[in-house]
Amino acid sequence: MSKAVLRTKLDPTYDDLPEQRYHFPRTYLRQVDAARGDWIVYDERRRPSSDLMKTGGRPACFATARIIDIIPDPSKPDHFYALIEDFLPLTDRYYEGGLRREDGSTNKGAFGRAV
């Protein structure tokens, strides 16, 4: 089993409901499958730009949970749902120093992946 960070948005493009499910494309299936049965961390970072996320979303990781299963999305080919249990909200503190550069800007390379 592996740990994973799952990224979502305040108004997600995917069919996410963090307390119950995480919707994702096949691109991330290997990584999400490796975390099956283990704990994950949810991330909903505000973006320092003109993006809508600047005024919405939480500042960093907002919850932890366990992936209990992965099922295909019956209505969207090449997409899946990670089924979630043991959802536990966290505080609004910035924990991920590795995602921030020394000048305070976001490390876009580290930040860009959804899983």
pLDDT digits (tens, 9 = 90+) for 46-92: 554 444 445 555 556 788 999 999 999 999 999 999 999 999 988 65
In a domain, 89, yes or no: yes
* Average pLDDT across the chain, whole number: 80
CB 7 within 8 A of CB 32: no
Residue 97 has pLDDT above 90, yes or no: no
pTM (two decimals):
0.69
Q: Which neighbouring-strand residues pair with 25?
A: 79
Query: Does residue 101 sit within a domain?
Result: no
In a domain, 98, yes or no: no
Q: Count the domains in the chain.
A: 1
Instruction: From residue 115, give the alpha-carbon distance in Å to each of 50, 89, 102.
Output: 23, 19, 24
Q: List the domain range (segments joined by +) for residue 60.
A: 4-93
Phi-psi domain of 50 (left: phi exceeds 0; alpha: psi -120 through 50; beta: other):
alpha
Q: Which residue has the higher pLDDT, 49 or 6?
A: 6
Whether 112 is covered by a domain: the verdict is no
pLDDT on residue 110: 66
Q: What is the per-residue pLDDT for 112?
A: 63
Whole-angstrom distance, CA of residue 112 vs CA of residue 7:
10
User: Are 1 and 37 within 8 A, CB to CB?
Assistant: yes
Domain harbouring 33, CATH code: 2.30.130
- The predicted structure's pLDDT at residue 56: 55
